[in-house]
Amino acid sequence: MLVGKARETEDYTRDKSDDKDAVVIARLVAQLHCYVPERADETWARLRQLGARRERLLVEATACVHQLRDLLECAWPGVLDAAAYPFGSSNWCAALSVVLKRCDGHPERLSRWTLARFESVVVKELPRWGGLRRRRAIIEAVFTALVDPNGVWAQRRGALERAGWVLQDWQATTQRVAQVEARMVEVLDELELTDLVTSIPGLSAVGAAAILAETGDPTRFDSPRALVKHAGLCPRENTSGNFCGRPQISPGPASAATGRLASGLGSSAPQPGDVRPLPISDYPRR
């Protein structure tokens, strides 16, 4: 497919000949658009599969965080202010888990507890979220948010019930990510690359395993640039400051068409039957 598309860009024809195809393929290889297919052994193939599994789990975990934030912003926004980075705080996650498991969609029910009782239950939940030390300020802030009236009350019970399930999914997915990453490090040990990659400042064993899962065996590449490109980083030359020209979108005042569009959003907006096409002169020119 790459050769076929490149042939069309050369002369806009579908002419085929060995000489022309050789030139096209050589140019694609030089530009690193195609390369020798990987013939991985069992260990490298396993690392690639583990990397694909880790990537999918990370997507699921990120989706759980976004969904949980949306639900809490709708039904119980006050709890998000209990920590500066709530989803990165094990104390906040443990406190939220305690509330969602016991409140039945009504966090104010747990306000009948004392702060000491609430804190003791959260401390028991803390190891499940990887926490080692309690943060009394965060736990107290979550306890105070139990009676926060902000949020859509009609949606609160159903949204918090759903948030509890999403929180459990996120926790389970995070645990599976840790298991996959541990196996990826084991593969690095089999390849005897762990000591080498960890000697690079700022690069962990898991990060190196994720990169090598994308590239495969580095010895099949002729240059570091090719290795980095196929690791998903795709380096490009920073030439943005060398371009000169006039932008197509003017930074000046809005056009008359834009002004009419903005004014149409007000109370005097025309009905669907009254909409008329703009004159040709009002459309932006490119």
Tokens 């980075």 sit on residue: 85
Residue-by-residue DSSP string for 28-90: HHHTTSS-PPP---HHHHHHHHHHHHHHHHHHHHHHHHHHHHHHHHHH-GGGGGGSSSGGG-H
Residues with Cβ within 8 Å of 198's Cβ and at least 6 positions away in sequence, in order, are 204, 205, 208
Mean predicted confidence (pLDDT) in 90-106: 95
Q: Which of 200 and 223 is assigned the larger pLDDT?
A: 200
Please report the pLDDT score of residue 215 as a whole number: 85
pTM: 0.68
| pLDDT of res. 238 | 54
Instruction: Please report the pLDDT score of residue 262 as a whole number.
Output: 36
pLDDT value of position 50: 96
Question: Is residue 29 very low, low, confident or very high in pLDDT (cuts 50, 70, 90)?
Answer: low
Query: What pLDDT sits at residue 221?
Result: 78
What is the mean pLDDT of the segment spanning 227-244? 60
What is the reported pLDDT for 183? 97
Backbone dihedral angles phi then psi of residue 105, each to the nearest 5 degrees: 80, 5
| Banded pLDDT at 141 (limits 50, 70, 90) | very high
Q: Please report the pLDDT score of residue 39 as a whole number.
A: 73
pLDDT digits (tens, 9 = 90+) for 51-88: 999 999 999 999 999 999 999 999 999 999 999 999 99
pLDDT > 90? residue 101: yes
Mean pLDDT of the chain: 80
Distance between CA 204 and CA 207 in Å, rounded? 5
The pLDDT score that the predictor gives to residue 116 is 95
Picking from 20-29, 118-127, 133-142, 208-217, which range would have the lowest pLDDT averaged per residue?
Answer: 20-29
Q: How far is CA 89 from CA 85, 86, 103, 177, 212, in A?
A: 6, 5, 21, 18, 30
pLDDT at 144: 95
Spatial contact of 160 and 76, defined as CB atoms under 8 Å apart: yes
Q: Look at residue 283 in the predicted model and tell me its pLDDT.
A: 39
H or E stretch covering 148: none
| pLDDT beyond 70 at 200 | yes
pLDDT for residue 261 is more than 60: no
SS3 at position 104: coil
Least trusted range by pLDDT, from 19-23, 29-33, 95-99, 254-258: 254-258
CB atoms within 10 A of CB 277: 7
* Residue 1 confidence (pLDDT) above 70: no
pLDDT band at 40 (very low <50, low <70, confident <90, very high): confident
